[in-house]
């Protein structure tokens, strides 16, 4: 969408486009709640960015995976440009947590110990990050930049304005004779420029770069910087800006295509989208140094009030060692610490016959580097390292911005023409990009993805097949001898948008695995729960293993490429393996009842079709007699249950009777391994049983589900 910043307030209580509320008072603007990038909403108002903020009780909104206390950029703006302090009112119990968030965001970790992260320190030296950070800090303290004040039950004053929290949430504001009510709920809206898109689902290349945003956190007109590296047809998000997951959905990019994140540092414009991706669908890998990861954990543990150890369970941390190559999707990455105000990494990688370097946020300015060396801030090894940026790389993604935190674009514009022609510049507003230059400004939009040519290998198609089948849980663990058979029997077929792939009532003859595109399952008996399957999901297996006619019609919702196996070959492939039993189990459950029960559960309602298939794999349908104890209070639990029909009584007299409801408290079962109460069927009931071990594995693989349960359970 095209966004225009606010230029005036037309309501007494103005909902900000990105979330939160703004009021104009005798004390000036006061903002309630601060989701990411609301500075872009207010920057052109007559009184500018507010310097009074009132934060809600909860600083993190799990449904959208974002902070509602993102005040880092307003603090920068007010302190450095308006030469004023920002005052923030916060619940007294959370002042210390907010202090931690601001410390990590603005000044970085209070203590650093990076020596173990450096490969071969004798050769490369150890970057003097503490001295560098002290230089950028310039002796400033958090107290000079921001006042953190408590929200009291009785209310508090901002000059002549009285603000009182309400029991049900929200605030009552008294400003002279005016009385204003601030709602409890913050209305979020994902605002971003979509850029050039495609009508068909995105097909990832062997090598590609998709820009998510070319600009910085103060530019109200364009997306904040970040990009996706496509390597071996898998995506790696690099510093995803806020709402990247929504952007990708609108751009027709299946989230399963992106399984990794590179987190370079913990400024809000670089880490805000990371947590959203963690919570989006399946478990992801995060690559960064232990120093950056610990800063990220301290920051988000303080925001969510979830222990860092529990946050670590929500993703796979892949620690990188500086100057030591690490293989990510077949590319060899080498990471380095940049020159920035908090610990920040950049990287260079080699993939087949191509090299690329990403500067990340970095003050790449030789005169300043020489000056820092003369002042004793940099040692000789660090100086030489910074002066010898790998301009020889084939592809150069380099930031530019306002010194002293960023590289002046004027310096990049003085580089030799042959180097400039290789540089794509990001983190800069279009208006600040030089008109006379050989540099290229990053262009965002999925249709503007850059596709550098790379050499191809002889067995690309075999790799493609094995990669696709390895992503399906039921096929994981396929014996090696059967893998050889798989390569012999699988074929690739393509279908046009609207084409019928399977017709209900016909004989089943093929198994399908979607490689790209989307299909819709048309089931007249269950029209409410429309099923759409996408990349790396499969269909057509039920009639093959049960030798029955097709149960539903399947049509191509978009253009579709699928891997296909004929019936006899498929049955030979899976016979006498655990795969056959798993497929038979899912085949019994892939019906309207199962889908509707899962969708009726408030924590599972937003599951994707792939997540539902994973859940179906561990469900067991049970018909339970009246007066049967399902869970016994205080005793270890072997299973948790979901109600399909019937009534279950809890020992406190309350009843579980809504379809899709949990029988048993999932938080209690996960945290303590035992039932929170005794649950007994009040009448004959149908339930779906999930063994606790399987349920915990499902939650570990789908951290967003667990976060939803924790915050709303």
Average pLDDT for the chain: 92
pTM of the model: 0.93
Element (H, E) at 611: helix 609-616
User: How sure is the predictor about 578, in pLDDT bands with cuts at 50, 70 and 90?
Assistant: confident
In the predicted model, is pLDDT for residue 527 greater than 60? no
Which phi and psi angles does 439 have, rounded to 5°? -70, 160
Q: What percent of the chain has pLDDT over 70?
A: 98
In the predicted model, is pLDDT for residue 591 greater than 70? no
Q: Tell me the pLDDT tens digit for each residue of 531-549.
A: 899 999 999 998 998 899 9
Tokens of 389: 């940026």
Q: Tell me the pLDDT tens digit for each residue of 70-99.
A: 999 999 999 999 999 999 999 999 999 999
Complete domains list, the chain, with CATH: 14-182 (no CATH), 207-448 (3.60.15.10), 460-588 (2.60.120.10), 600-712 (2.60.120.10)
User: How sure is the predictor about 524, in pLDDT bands with cuts at 50, 70 and 90?
Assistant: low
User: How sure is the predictor about 695, in pLDDT bands with cuts at 50, 70 and 90?
Assistant: very high
Which phi and psi angles does 266 have, rounded to 5°? -110, 30
- Tell me the C-alpha distance between 257 and 536, whole Å: 9
List the beta strands (DSSP E) in 2-81: 14-15, 21-25, 28-32, 52-54, 60-61, 66-67
Q: What are the b/e assignments for 365-382, b being 16+ CB within 10 Å?
A: beebbeebbeeebbeebb
List the beta strands (DSSP E) in 300-389: 316-319, 326-328, 331-337, 345-351, 354-358
Tokens of 523: 């089931």
Q: Tell me the pLDDT tens digit for each residue of 478-509.
A: 888 888 899 999 999 999 999 999 999 999 99
Q: What percent of the chain has pLDDT over 90?
A: 75
């Amino acid at each position: 969408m095209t966004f225009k910043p606010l230029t005036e307030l037309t309501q007494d209580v103005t909902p900000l486009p990105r979330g939160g509320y703004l009021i104009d008072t005798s004390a000036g603007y006061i903002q309630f709640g601060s989701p990411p990038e609301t500075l872009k909403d207010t920057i052109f108002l007559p009184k500018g960015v507010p310097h009074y903020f009132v934060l809600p009780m909860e600083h993190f909104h799990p449904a959208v995976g974002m902070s509602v206390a993102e005040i880092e950029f307003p603090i920068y703006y007010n302190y450095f440009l308006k030469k004023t302090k920002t005052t923030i009112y916060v619940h007294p119990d959370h002042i210390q947590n907010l202090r931690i968030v601001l410390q990590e965001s603005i000044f970085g970790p209070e203590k650093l110990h990076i020596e173990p992260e450096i490969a071969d320190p004798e050769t490369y030296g150890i970057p003097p990050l503490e001295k560098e950070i002290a230089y950028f800090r310039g002796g400033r303290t958090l107290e000079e930049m921001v006042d953190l004040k408590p929200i009291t039950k009785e209310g508090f004053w901002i000059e002549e304005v009285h603000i009182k929290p309400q029991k049900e949430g929200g605030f009552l504001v008294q400003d002279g004779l005016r009385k204003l009510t601030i709602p409890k709920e913050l209305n979020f809206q994902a605002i971003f420029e979509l850029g050039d898109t495609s009508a068909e689902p995105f097909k990832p290349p062997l090598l590609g770069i998709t820009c998510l945003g070319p600009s910085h956190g103060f530019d109200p007109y364009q997306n904040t910087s970040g990009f996706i590296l496509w390597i071996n047809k898998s995506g790696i998000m690099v510093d995803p800006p806020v709402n990247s997951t929504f952007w990708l959905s609108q751009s027709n990019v299946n989230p399963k295509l992106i399984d990794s994140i590179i987190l370079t540092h913990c400024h809000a414009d670089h880490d805000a989208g990371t947590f959203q991706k963690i919570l989006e669908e399946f478990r992801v890998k995060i690559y960064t140094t232990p120093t950056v990861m610990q800063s990220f954990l301290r920051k988000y543990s303080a925001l969510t009030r979830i222990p860092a150890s529990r946050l670590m369970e929500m993703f796979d941390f892949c620690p990188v060692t500086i100057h030591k190559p690490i293989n990510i999707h077949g590319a060899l990455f080498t990471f380095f610490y940049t020159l920035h105000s908090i610990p920040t990494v950049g990287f260079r990688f080699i993939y087949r016959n191509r090299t690329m370097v990403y500067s990340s946020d970095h003050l790449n300015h030789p005169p300043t580097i020489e000056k820092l060396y003369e002042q004793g801030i940099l040692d000789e090894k660090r100086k030489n390292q910074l002066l010898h940026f790998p301009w020889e790389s084939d592809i150069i993604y380099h930031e530019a911005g306002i010194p002293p935190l960023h590289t002046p674009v004027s310096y990049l514009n003085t580089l030799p023409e042959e180097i400039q022609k290789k540089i794509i510049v990001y983190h800069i507003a279009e208006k600040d990009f030089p008109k006379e230059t050989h540099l290229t400004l990053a262009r965002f939009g999925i249709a503007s993805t850059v596709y550098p040519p790379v050499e191809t290998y002889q067995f690309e198609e075999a790799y493609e097949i094995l990669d696709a089948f390895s992503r399906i849980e039921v096929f994981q663990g396929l014996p090696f001898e059967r893998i050889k058979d798989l390569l012999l029997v699988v074929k690739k077929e393509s279908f046009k948008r609207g084409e019928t792939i399977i017709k209900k009532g016909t004989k089943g003859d093929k198994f399908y695995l979607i490689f790209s595109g989307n299909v819709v399952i048309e089931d007249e008996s269950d029209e409410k729960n429309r099923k759409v399957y996408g990349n790396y999901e499969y269909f057509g297996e039920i009639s093959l293993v049960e030798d029955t006619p097709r149960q539903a019609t399947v049509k191509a919702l978009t253009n579709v490429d699928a891997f296909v196996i004929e019936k006899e070959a498929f049955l030979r492939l899976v016979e006498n393996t655990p795969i056959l039993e798993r497929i038979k189990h899912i085949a019994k459950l892939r019906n309207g009842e199962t889908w509707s029960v899962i969708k009726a559960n408030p924590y599972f309602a937003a599951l994707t079709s792939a997540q539902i298939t994973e859940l179906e794999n561990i469900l067991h349908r049970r018909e339970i007699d009246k007066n049967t104890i399902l869970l016994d209070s205080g005793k270890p639990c072997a299973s948790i249950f979901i109600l399909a029909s019937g009534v279950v009584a809890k020992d406190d007299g309350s009843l579980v009777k809504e379809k899709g409801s949990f029988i048993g408290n999932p938080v209690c079962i996960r945290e303590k391994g035992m039932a929170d109460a005794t649950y007994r069927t009040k009448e004959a009931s149908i339930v779906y049983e999930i063994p606790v071990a399987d349920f915990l594995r499902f939650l570990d693989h789908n951290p967003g589900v667990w976060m939803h349960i924790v915050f709303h359970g």
